[in-house]
Amino acid sequence: MRPRSRQLRGDSTTRARTCSSADVLDWTLENLSADDVARLRAIYEPLTESVRELIDATIRTEVDAETVAAAKAEIDAATARLRGEQVDGPFGVRFSTDGDQMAWGNVVIGIRNPVAPPIVVEQSDSGMFTDFHLGAAYEGPPGHVHGGVAALVLDHILGAAASSPQKPRLTGTITLRYLRLTRLGQLHAEARITRRDGVKTFTAGHLADDEGITVEAEGVFIQPRWARG
């Protein structure tokens, strides 16, 4: 099926949706320059960081009931102000006129998603890597990263290694081997392509803390029909 699009908010924004047998991706083409994107980032990224700090503080606070009630009232008021104007549904993926991808709502890398660590994926000679920090919001076993969060990060980094902006590839399967617990704190993840077979790309990678590798991963990522040209 060919992509569909419809115009939103005058001539400034176009929404396009791609699909195979069902709707898969939803993106918006914004009439934004690189300067516009930088301006928006400067507005919203500090807000996200403040909410991220709020999440951490909520988990670890031991203040009295009166202080909690006062903080809740302030948070509720701030939430109401932010809901004064908002998009319907999730943020989606947006592209500027310069081709910059703005996956700002993404749960792993989104600069507007306080649930995201966030991680910044970088390229090396052999594949992709990221150095990042996980705090109290990502705890499973006491003092350690939840196994599902480890899987989330590894799925993303393996997918980044398998994909390119021109050729997206989606998770077919991912296999994890947990070697030991992963301590909360500063972490490293990396991934590389091991082979390709038609529309399938095979990847391998790992998560590590300061004592070494904690989780190994292998994945198969598939180029969807609508992206095969």
CATH code (residue 200) = 3.10.129.10
Q: What is the structure's pLDDT at 183?
A: 98
Residue 150 — left, alpha, or beta (φ > 0 → left; ψ -120 to 50 → alpha)?
A: alpha
Query: Which of 70, 99, 116 is the last residue in one of the domains?
Result: 116
Same domain, 112 and 124: no
Query: How many whole angstroms separate alpha carbon 63 and alpha carbon 55?
Result: 15
Integer angstrom CA distances of residue 208 from 138, 174, 190, 205: 15, 18, 9, 10
Domain boundary among the residues 89, 116, 143 is at 116
pLDDT at 18: 38
Please list the residues that pair with 193 across neighbouring strands: 203
Q: What is the domain extent for residue 135?
A: 119-227
Q: What was the pLDDT predicted at 29?
A: 59
Q: Choose among 202, 8, 199, 161: nearest CA to 92.
A: 8
Instruction: Render each residue's pLDDT in the chain as its tens digit; 229 residues.
Output: 233 333 333 334 444 443 333 445 555 657 788 888 889 999 999 999 999 999 999 999 999 999 999 999 999 999 999 999 998 988 888 877 776 778 899 999 999 999 999 999 999 999 999 999 999 999 999 999 999 999 999 999 999 999 876 778 899 999 999 999 999 999 999 999 999 999 999 999 999 999 999 999 999 999 887 767 6
**Residue 220 and residue 178 share a domain:** yes
Domain identity same for 104 and 180? no
So what's the pLDDT on residue 25? Answer: 54
Q: Give me the pLDDT at residue 224, please.
A: 83
Are 197 and 171 found together in one domain? yes
Residues 73 and 84 in one domain: yes
109 with 125, same domain: the answer is: no
Which has the closest alpha carbon to 224: 16, 24, 26, 29? 24
Examine the domain organization and report whether 100 and 126 are in the same domain.
no
Mark which of 116, 131, 157 sits at the end of a domain.
Answer: 116
The strand pairing partners of 206, in sequence order, are 190, 216
Number of independent structural domains in the chain: 2
Which pTM was predicted? 0.84
Tokens 């990396």 sit on residue: 190
Same domain, 86 and 123: no
